[in-house]
A and B are shown apart, each in its own frame.
Chain A
Amino acid sequence: NAGVTQTPKFQVLKTGQSMTLQCAQDMNHNSMYWYRQDPGMGLRLIYYSASEGTTDKGEVPNGYNVSRLNKREFSLRLESAAPSQTSVYFCASRMLAGGTDTQYFGPGTRLTVL
């Protein structure tokens, strides 16, 4: 049981390049999330998927797209990277069971856009 996994761990891009951040969970959770974390700003929600086949915008969706490929996988795509997208990106899955609501986070992807 690996929990939430993210690839890659580190990435350096040039302005204008594109890339996809991958996330997978093996806990059979319905909901999955993408956040970015910048110094002093906490975690900000980019996109989320409440269930397989659905995606919705969060606080800061501009410049990003997502795909909920199946119940396990939720990817985040940067079509044309900008220096403002330099950040640490976290994927999370959420469990709602037995009156307990819990989010599990991946280890993060550290992205630098030059």
Chain B
Amino acid sequence: EDQVTQSPEALRLQEGESSSLNCSYTVSGLRGLFWYRQDPGKGPEFLFTLYSAGEEKEKERLKATLTKKESFLHITAPKPEDSATYLCAVLRESSASKIIFGSGTRLSIRP
């Protein structure tokens, strides 16, 4: 069965303390992997799309990487405003339209 698993469920960091969030997937052929940020009471906000193993994308303090089994969202020197839930989702080769989401990682950055 196709599955997307995110870990940890929750992560509390001190401001400036770098870390990584994990998204592991088991799908029959990956077409693309997405990262989103979601603030409380709002809809998800697109961050990155990765298409092939070895690909990396960066935006400010965030860097997303992709291997054949998982993706990492690296957060360098985070600030309190980076606090949010980060969602990972995959698009399979077998279905060009259906996107499967993980349950997210709640990130909290303390000043």
Q: How far is the CA of A50 from the CA of B91 in the complex (A)?
A: 14
Q: What CA separation (Å) do A105 and B100 show in the bound complex?
A: 15
The reply to whether B103 and A42 contact each other, CB–CB distance below 8 Å, is: yes
Interface range on chain B (Cβ under 8 Å from partner): 20 to 34
A104 within 8 A of B: yes
Complex Cα distance A45/B98, Å? 8
Shortest Cβ distance from A103 into B: residue: B46
For B89, what are the chain A residues with a Cβ–Cβ distance below 8 Å?
43
Q: Chain A: residues with CB nearer than 8 A to chain B?
A: 4, 31, 33, 35, 40-45, 48, 50, 56, 58, 90, 92, 100-108
Between A and B, 16 residue pairs with Cβ closer than 8 Å are A4-B43, A31-B97, A33-B99, A42-B87, A43-B87, A45-B98, A45-B99, A92-B43, A100-B49, A101-B32, A101-B91, A103-B44, A105-B43, A106-B43, A108-B41, A108-B43
